[in-house]
Amino acid sequence: MIPSLFLLILLAGTGLPPFREDIVSYAIVQDDGTLITGGHQHLELYGIYIPLNDRTCRTFIIPPRCGPRAVLMLDFKIDGHFVHCQRLGAEEDGTISAVCKVNGDDVAAWMLKQGWAVALPDAPFEYQVWEKIARKHDRGIWGMEVE
């Protein structure tokens, strides 16, 4: 009994829910940068905002996929892979906020490192740093001309 109580106290101090539901599934990237899993769960990547400007098409696939460049990059990262997501919370509309990994890589961190996302104010410190490095090196959205 004491080890379980200790674990609950330890987890309560982290600010995260003590029991997070893992979601392991294929995922389909939506045009707004959210994911729909095989269980029909609607997920948003925790800690980042994906800009929805600068639409383009990937014509080398059939049928062609069109959307914002950042969303197409997310689709490229996830395409054909299962995602392993840890649920962190839920919005009022039922959208689940989660940290998702593909082949062990944090997808939100990858998006930031490539310059295709913006770290939100409450994001982990590492996310803030990766965004600044991408900006410094003109990666992704930071390398495009603004009209």
In whole angstroms, give the CA distance from residue 85 to residue 73: 19
Q: What is the mean pLDDT, run by run of 10 residues, along the chain of 147 residues?
A: 42 45 90 89 94 82 84 91 93 92 96 96 96 95 68
Cβ atoms of 70 and 107 closer than 8 Å: no
CA distances from 37 to 96, 101, 107 (A): 11, 13, 15
pLDDT value of position 112: 97
- pTM of the entire predicted model: 0.80
In whole angstroms, give the CA distance from residue 5 to residue 118: 38
User: Hey, what domains does the chain have and what are their CATH numbers?
Assistant: 18-136 (2.40.50.90)
pLDDT value of position 41: 87
In whole angstroms, give the CA distance from residue 138 to residue 144: 8
pLDDT value of position 20: 59
